[in-house]
Structure formats: C-alpha cells, structure tokens
Amino acid sequence: MHRAPSSRAVEPTTRHHRTAFSGPGLRRRLLAALVTIPLALAAAACGDDGGDSAADPNKPVELSIFWWGAEGRAKLTEDALALYTKKHPNVTFKKTWQANQGYFDKLATLTAGGDAPDLFQIDDNYLTEYASRNVTLDLTSYKDGGKLDVSKFPESLVNYGIVDGKLAGVAFGENTQGLVFNKTLLDKNKLPAPTTGMTWADFITWAENVSKTAKVPGTQDPSADYKAFWVWLRQQGKDLYKDKALGFTEQDVAGWFELWKGARDRGATPTADVIHEGNVTDISKQLVVTGKAGTSWVWANQMPELKKNTKDELGVIAYPGDPSAQWARASMYFSVFRGSDKKDIAVDVINFLSNDPEAAAVLGTDRGLPSNLDIRKSVSDSVSDPNMKVAITVQTELGAKFGASPQVPLKGHSKVRAELIKAAEEVQFGRQTPAEAAKAYFAVAQAAIGQA
C-alpha cells in the first residue's frame, strides 16, 4: 500500500490489461483536456443523482471498473467482484487493471476521451484534482440516504475523502506512517529500540548512538520524505496545506532541512549517496532491509513487503514526536464517474466491497486495513503473516492516538512531493544551504498548487 503505498509495480499480463500510455508531457495535455469534462457531463447526466438501471433490477448491466496493482491484487479484486455478480446476476464487470506506473496517465486519457470507467481507484495525490474538475460523483447524498454505509468507518477516514464539501471518494483501506527499525541489529548490539512518543531530538541522539555502536547508520535521513515533513509540521501546529494554499512557510522548510543537516553532521544518518538510494528506490530495497541504515520511513502496512527482503526481525513504531499528528489516512479510494449512467449500481458495488464480510475476507489487507472497523477486526483475526499482524497491532494501537485528518492534498500534490526530494538532496549533497534550498522549494511548491 505509496506511494500511498500499494502493490509493487509489476506489469501484469491479462486479457483485461490495457497498456499504459506514455510520452513527454502527456499527462499535462490529458489533464488540460479534462477542462471540457463539465460540458460532457451536462450532456451525459442531469445532476449527481440521476437514475440508472437500478430501477429495473433484472436488466443486464456491465459496469466498467479500473484499478492499479500487481497480479495478486487483480486476482483478489476479480474474486470479490465475482461475489457481487453471484448476488446480483444481472451485473457483470468490464475489468481493467495495470501497474501503478502510468495508471494516472491512462485514467486521464479515458476520462478526457469520453470513455471513463464507471468506477475507478484513486489516491490522495489526485483526488482533489479530479474532484475539482467535476469528474467524481459527490457521494454525500448516498451516504446520508443510507445507500452507502460508512457508519463503521473512523470519522477521520471518511472526512479524508471530502473535497470542497463533497464526498469525492470512499476510503478503501486505512494506513499510517511507520518508522520501521531493524530489531535484530539492535539486539545484537545490546541497543534499545526506539519508542513511540520520543522527541525528534531524542530520536536523532538514539540514531547517533546506533551509528557509533553498531557501525551502521542509525536512520535513513527523511528530509526528502513528505510523510515525515507533514507529520513534523502538524506537530508544530502547521500543515502541508491550508485551504487553497500551502500550510507552511519557507522558514518551516529551512528548519526541517537544518534539523537533518545537524543529524548528518553528527553521523546519525548515512552519507548523501546512500541517502539518495533510499530516496529513489522501491520498498523492497529500503535501507533498513539492505543493511545500510537502522530505520526506514515508510507506511506501516509495508512491513510484510519489507520483511520479504531481509532475514532480520523488524519492528515498527510511530514517527517521532506526538503521535496525534498522525491520522487515519486513506491508503486509496474508489470513486464513481459523475457522467456514468450506472451511478447507483457503482455506489452499491463500493458499499458491497466495503461492508460485505465475504468480500472483505477475499480482499484482506491488500489495500490497507479495512475501513469498516467490524470488518477490520474479523480480517485482522484471520491474518497469518506475523509481520502483518505486527503492523495491524501497531496501527490499531496508534488509532487510539490519531488526531483529526488534514484536508485532502491540493491539486499539484505529486509535484510538491517530488520537488521536496530535489530540494532536500541539494542540501544533502552540500550544493545549497538549508535556507537556499528552502527558498527555492517554497517557490516551486507554491507554483505547483497554483498559488504563485
């Protein structure tokens, strides 16, 4: 579950698979084309609650659905959809899936070209972007009318799908930030494990001691990691976004970069070239499993994937500082295309996949911890992977300490994330001071969200 984290980017082969489009500037051109969507929607539907074939429950319906993921997720999703068809024999599915890479280029192509799927997977990098263009159906009336039951969801998880007062997506799993540490390394060197609630200063001191004692850098440097920056900001009473603007200042960025420059100077982190490896690699090669650092900054549900790549025992805790800065984050959502003529059925499918015990047993934790807390308990009790059990236990414990969810990231969020990596590496490699990099980053981040 990354990006928001999800399945590994394995390109599947199936009769349902469509090849991802690619090419320089394609996504920009495609999303620009989405400006025309409201006109198309006006012709396709009269309001968000127009009737569809649900009025005739026996009429054959083919619902198109599009998601990303590897072959394992595809199999689980197809099996769950088959359960829906078993209970609703008139409804079949046109299923399309692919790896994460290129997924949003393809979604933009389909949406702009008038061939949008009725139901599609999306994450918080793009939810605001699609909602602001009126591509996503406002699901509020379905929720309020009882056709979409989110009563067993954590409130903050529901709210993390609201854009400009409209419920644009239903969270299809919960996740949170996790600091994964190498327990075997610590035990071997008779070193204490890090703990939830330790301050950032105490954590850096802990990492420095690991470096000196174990001769392995104590922690990956997270100054390029937006997740860590975001949590740190919330602990300062700030946020990544506020309304239609950035929720932080240039000085906040400089302070974040200074914090980690100090940690590097003390030897608490690896050198810049190794930090770069951790910045750009996939989950299977994070420094905590390649033996190049004692911790990595990931999503808590990625524990099992990390464990596949090391013989060492791993542990996971919250990020340093007050854990209430973390929140019940949607690992991903399902949204309904506003121009669909099968809206009611698409919403019913979301409701089924979210709340039906049989469907939940099939889907498991592939997309994160189930949003429905009753379903989550039954699924969690059946999990056999000990590392997933650890991740679930930690996330459940953290759930009691979660704060309110922030607003869904603004359009341009993916650029804000990518530019943080570039700016942090300018400091890591000594090419710019923290203040210089912060100034440049703040300007480009403002431009990315259309603020400047």
Structure confidence at residue 452 (pLDDT): 64
Per residue in 8-63, pLDDT tens? 333 333 333 333 333 444 444 444 444 444 434 443 443 444 445 445 778 899 99
State pTM to two decimals.
Answer: 0.84
Q: Is 434 left (phi over 0), alpha (psi -120 to 50) or beta?
A: alpha
Between 83 and 379, where is the model more confident? 83
Q: Please indicate, yes or no, whether residues 97 and 195 belong to a single structural domain of this protein.
A: no
Per residue in 136-176, pLDDT tens? 999 999 999 999 999 999 999 999 999 999 999 999 999 99
DSSP codes of every residue in 90-128: TEEEEEEEE-STTHHHHHHHHHHTT---SEEEE-TTTHH
Structure confidence at residue 114 (pLDDT): 80
Structure confidence at residue 40 (pLDDT): 42
For residue 66, what are the domain limits? 26-173+332-391
In a domain, residue 11? The reply is no
d(CA 107, CA 266): 46
In a domain, residue 396? The reply is no
d(CA 382, CA 430): 49
Identify the CATH number of the domain in which residue 234 sits: 3.40.190.10
Q: Please indicate, yes or no, whether residues 351 and 222 belong to a single structural domain of this protein.
A: no
Beta bridge partners of 67: 97
Per residue in 63-88, pLDDT tens? 999 999 989 999 999 999 999 999 99
Task: Classify strands 170-171 and 333-336 as parallel, antiparallel or unpaired.
Answer: antiparallel
Task: Classify strands 245-246 and 241-242 as parallel, antiparallel or unpaired.
Answer: antiparallel
d(CA 185, CA 217): 11
In a domain, residue 16? The reply is no
Q: Please indicate, yes or no, whether residues 224 and 275 belong to a single structural domain of this protein.
A: yes
Angle at 171 between CA 358 and CA 158, to 5 degrees: 115
Alpha carbon 169 to its chain centroid, in Å, reads 13
The predicted model gives 179-205 an average pLDDT of: 97
Per residue in 284-343, pLDDT tens? 899 999 999 999 999 988 888 899 899 999 999 999 999 999 998 999 999 999 999 999
Q: Please indicate, yes or no, whether residues 423 and 321 belong to a single structural domain of this protein.
A: yes
Q: Please indicate, yes or no, whether residues 45 and 163 belong to a single structural domain of this protein.
A: yes
Between 386 and 197, where is the model more confident? 197
Residue 395 banded pLDDT, cuts 50, 70, 90:
confident
In a domain, residue 18? The reply is no
| Percentage of the chain modeled with pLDDT above 90 | 74
Contact by Cβ (8 Å): 130, 30: no
In a domain, residue 17? The reply is no
The predicted model gives 388-400 an average pLDDT of: 82
Q: Please indicate, yes or no, whether residues 203 and 215 belong to a single structural domain of this protein.
A: yes
In a domain, residue 2? The reply is no
Q: Which of 391, 420, 435 is the last residue of a domain?
A: 391
CA nearest neighbour of 129 among 443, 347, 408, 440: 408
How many folded domains does the chain comprise?
2
| DSSP label at residue 275 | H
Q: Which residue blocks in 114-249 are alpha helix, DSSP H?
A: 127-132, 140-144, 155-159, 183-188, 200-214, 226-235
Start-to-end C-alpha separation, the chain: 33
Q: Please indicate, yes or no, whether residues 275 and 421 belong to a single structural domain of this protein.
A: yes
| DSSP label at residue 298 | E
- Torsion angle, CA of 257/318/4/93, rounded to 10 degrees? -170
Cα 336 to Cα 118, 127, 155, distances in angstroms? 6, 12, 21
d(CA 128, CA 132): 6
Q: Please indicate, yes or no, whether residues 319 and 200 belong to a single structural domain of this protein.
A: yes
In a domain, residue 402? The reply is no
Mean pLDDT over the full length of the chain: 88
Beta bridge partners of 98: 68
Q: Is the pLDDT of residue 200 over 80?
A: yes
Per residue in 262-292, pLDDT tens? 999 999 999 999 999 999 888 889 999 999 9
Spell out where 318-413 has E strands.
329-330, 333-336
Q: Please indicate, yes or no, whether residues 419 and 310 belong to a single structural domain of this protein.
A: yes
Structure confidence at residue 394 (pLDDT): 80
Q: Please indicate, yes or no, whether residues 301 and 217 belong to a single structural domain of this protein.
A: yes
Q: Please indicate, yes or no, whether residues 150 and 79 belong to a single structural domain of this protein.
A: yes
Q: Please indicate, yes or no, whether residues 110 and 51 belong to a single structural domain of this protein.
A: yes
In a domain, residue 5? The reply is no
